[in-house]
């Protein structure tokens, strides 16, 4: 048994909670089905002025599952899912799980050059995408070999939740449903079959639309697969080298954190959550969506961040729980209209991905008596592996090990546990930890090690644990940039930048940013024939067109040569340290 000497954080463990929980031994699909039985008239999803009850959500998911089944999708098959937050994302997600298939959530900001890897590595044959993103997916599909291509694509428009008005959608029609004016162009974007076929140069992809799915019946569906150990979700995370890797999460690993997140936040069926963290991201998916569906709460869905819409929705729907990224809270507090909003219904607010500034956390406490609860986790740990106790949080702190979780600080070389106050690598053992990297046995073997008979995951993050058992992030072993909570892996950005004919060499580093935390900077050596004929801004524009916007460098610097080791390896740390020194000098 753990003692206070060994694990001092237990002294501050919430007295209302057990230290460990027993996750439900059913599939994630059953969470939706059970909530539909328990709460037949309760709102599950709210999207602008549309409300879906739990039985309606389940019925629509079963129709989509029937469509997937008709396309040959079986248990274990991977299905790509690519769209902004919308009811259709949740419906499609549970439809895939209903068949025992595997959800592959994709960042909607990815471009065609990035998407080819998801198609081929996941070995997917079916995808579900929003109309505004379908074109990029089709372009990516045409770029891979015929034997690896997608065969079926289901397309939905965000406006599919409403009947199509006469004359089609315009700004006035959208505004009547509460859609912000700035979203009009992409929100109402429509792709018909002829348009999509014109993008699909192979014409080998069978394309269907959301309306067609409603005709499919759930009566022909196979039996529900209830195997906690079965693969459920395959979210991709980039690494220090190479292309993004799929993290294998079972129903059991996600189930644990869905249940645990609800317990930690004092959740119940009366919860009203604001879901604005993207659901392709593990935090939005697990701590937002799955945690709410498990307890039978109501989700108010935002497809994109808009600070004033967030303020309006919290006020109007009396939102009680809000998991977010600290930059969102900072943005809302900075709104000129902030005093118009009533946040008094909130009882729990927290998040991760970046530290919450002390002054803003204090303002939130002074105004509403709310303590911002910071947490820490990775795609590999199904979101939180550490969270601050709501009753006793520390600011700019990762928190304490989560329910059922054992976390340590170890020497990154010897892998031996280090005493409090000593910097080392954060390692995690618990039921929420993923099974390994999809089709990457070597990477999986490197990511884990055994300590005291337990299998620990190496996060690659450096930190310390204080005398009270709270964890703090200090640095990274991995080469990674954190831009507003989005992880940017320099090796991937560099690989994409080599697609530009002017780039001879590239090294990507982080630059500090007061709002985003960090931004992406690319240090570039141009090919001789392009010198004097291309500008830094030209490359920035090209990057924004060829990669997700959060990855695209916001700063480009041309140099004659990059620092290299004797073996010819680019010494990125020298550039990073020079950038940090320059920033420190500028501040002084």
Q: Residue 474 pLDDT more than 90?
A: no
Helix, coil or strand: residue 263: helix
Q: In which band, very low, low, confident or very high, does the pLDDT at 568 lie, cut at 50, 70 and 90? A: low
Q: Residue 240 pLDDT more than 60?
A: no
What is residue 3's predicted lDDT score, i.e. its pLDDT? Answer: 52
What residues does each domain of the chain span?
A: 47-249, 481-587
Q: Residue 349 pLDDT more than 60?
A: yes
Mean pLDDT on 337-350: 95
Contact between 96 and 103 (Cβ < 8 Å): yes
What separation in angstroms does the CA of 130 have from each of 49, 137, 212? 20, 10, 15
Residue 504 and residue 423: Cα distance in Å, rounded? Answer: 38
Class level of CATH domain 481-587 = alpha beta
Per-residue pLDDT reduced to its tens digit, 71-111: 999 999 999 999 999 999 999 999 999 999 999 999 999 99
What is residue 381's predicted lDDT score, i.e. its pLDDT? Answer: 98
Residue 24 and residue 259: Cα distance in Å, rounded? Answer: 9
Mean pLDDT on 568-587: 83
Per-residue pLDDT reduced to its tens digit, 130-181: 999 999 999 999 999 999 999 999 999 999 999 989 888 988 999 999 999 9
Mean pLDDT on 334-363: 88
Smallest CA-to-CA distance from 344 within 378, 385, 315, 303 is with 315
Per-residue pLDDT reduced to its tens digit, 371-380: 999 999 999 9
What is residue 192's predicted lDDT score, i.e. its pLDDT? Answer: 87
Q: Specify the pairing of strand 102-105 against strand 126-130.
A: unpaired
Mean pLDDT on 227-234: 96
Residue 397 and residue 355: Cα distance in Å, rounded? Answer: 8
- Rounded to the nearest integer, the mean pLDDT of the chain is 93
On the CB side of 546, CA atoms within 13 Å amount to 17
Q: Specify the pairing of strand 400-401 against strand 406-410.
A: unpaired
Q: Residue 4 pLDDT more than 70?
A: no
CATH no., domain 47-249: 3.40.50.980
The beta-strand segments (E) located in 67-107 are 78-82, 102-105
Residue 92 and residue 128: Cα distance in Å, rounded? Answer: 8
Mean pLDDT on 262-277: 96
What lies within 8 Å, CB to CB, of 474 at 6+ separation is 423, 462, 463, 464
Residue 499 and residue 561: Cα distance in Å, rounded? Answer: 19
Contact between 26 and 228 (Cβ < 8 Å): yes
Helix, coil or strand: residue 540: helix
Q: In which band, very low, low, confident or very high, does the pLDDT at 488 lie, cut at 50, 70 and 90? A: confident
Widest Cα–Cα separation across the chain: 70
Q: In which band, very low, low, confident or very high, does the pLDDT at 354 lie, cut at 50, 70 and 90? A: confident
**Higher pLDDT, residue 317 or 499:** 317
Q: In which band, very low, low, confident or very high, does the pLDDT at 467 lie, cut at 50, 70 and 90? A: very high
């Amino acid at each position: 048994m753990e003692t206070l000497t060994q694990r001092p954080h237990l002294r501050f463990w919430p007295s209302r909670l057990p230290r460990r929980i027993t996750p439900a031994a059913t599939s994630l699909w059953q969470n939706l089905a059970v909530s539909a039985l328990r709460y037949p008239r309760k709102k599950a999803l709210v999207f602008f002025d549309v409300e879906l009850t739990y039985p309606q959500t389940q019925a629509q998911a079963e129709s989509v599952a029937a469509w997937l089944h008709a396309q040959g999708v079986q248990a274990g098959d991977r299905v790509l899912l690519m769209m902004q937050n919308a009811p259709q994302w949740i419906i499609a997600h549970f439809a895939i799980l209903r068949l025992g298939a595997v959800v592959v959530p994709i960042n909607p900001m990815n471009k065609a050059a990035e998407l080819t890897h998801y198609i081929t590595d996941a070995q997917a044959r079916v995808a579900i995408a929003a109309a505004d993103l379908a074109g990029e997916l089709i372009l990516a599909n045409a770029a891979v070999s015929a034997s690896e291509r997608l065969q079926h694509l289901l397309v939905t428009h965000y406006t599919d939740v409403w009947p199509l008005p006469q004359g089609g959608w315009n700004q006035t029609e959208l505004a009547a449903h509460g859609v912000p004016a700035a979203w009009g162009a992409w929100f109402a974007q429509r792709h018909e079959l002829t348009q999509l076929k014109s993008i699909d140069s192979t014409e080998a992809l069978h394309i269907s639309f959301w309306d067609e799915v409603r005709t499919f019946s759930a009566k022909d569906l196979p039996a529900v697969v209830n195997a906690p150990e079965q693969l459920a979700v395959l979210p991709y995370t980039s690494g220090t080298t190479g292309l993004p890797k799929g993290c294998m999460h079972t129903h059991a690993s996600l189930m644990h954190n869905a249940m645990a997140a609800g317990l930690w936040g004092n959740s119940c069926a009366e919860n009203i959550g604001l879901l604005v963290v993207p659901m392709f991201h593990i935090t939005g998916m697990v701590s937002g969506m799955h945690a709410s569906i498990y307890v039978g709460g109501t989700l108010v869905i935002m497809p994109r961040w808009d600070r004033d819409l967030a303020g309006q929705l919290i006020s109007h729907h009396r939102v009680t729980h809000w998991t977010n990224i600290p930059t969102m809270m900072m943005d809302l507090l900075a709104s000129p209209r902030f005093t118009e909003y009533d946040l008094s219904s909130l009882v729990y607010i927290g998040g991760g991905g970046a530290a919450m500034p002390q002054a803003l956390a204090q303002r939130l406490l002074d105004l509403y008596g709310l303590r911002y609860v910071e947490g820490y986790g990775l795609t590999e740990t199904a979101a939180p592996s550490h969270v601050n106790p709501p009753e006793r949080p520390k600011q700019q702190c990762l928190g304490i090990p989560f329910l059922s979780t054992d976390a340590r600080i170890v020497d990154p070389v010897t892998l031996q546990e280090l005493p409090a106050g000593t910097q080392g690598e954060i390692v995690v053992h618990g039921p929420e930890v993923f099974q390994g990297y999809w089709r990457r046995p070597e990477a999986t073997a490197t990511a884990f090690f055994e300590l005291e008979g337990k299998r620990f995951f190496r996060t690659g993050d450096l930190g310390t644990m204080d005398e009270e058992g709270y964890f703090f992030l200090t640095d990274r072993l991995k080469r990674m940039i954190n831009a507003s909570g989005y992880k940017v892996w320099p090796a991937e950005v560099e690989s994409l930048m080599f697609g530009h004919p002017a780039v001879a060499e590239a090294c990507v580093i982080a630059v500090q940013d007061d709002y985003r935390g960090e931004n992406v900077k690319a240090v570039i050596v141009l090919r001789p024939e392009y010198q004097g004929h291309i500008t830094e801004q030209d490359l920035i524009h090209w990057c924004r067109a060829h990669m997700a916007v959060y990855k695209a460098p916001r700063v480009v610097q041309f140099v004659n040569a990059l620092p290299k080791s004797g073996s010819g390896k680019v010494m990125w740390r020298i550039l990073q340290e020079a950038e940090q020194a320059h920033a420190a000098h500028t501040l002084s």
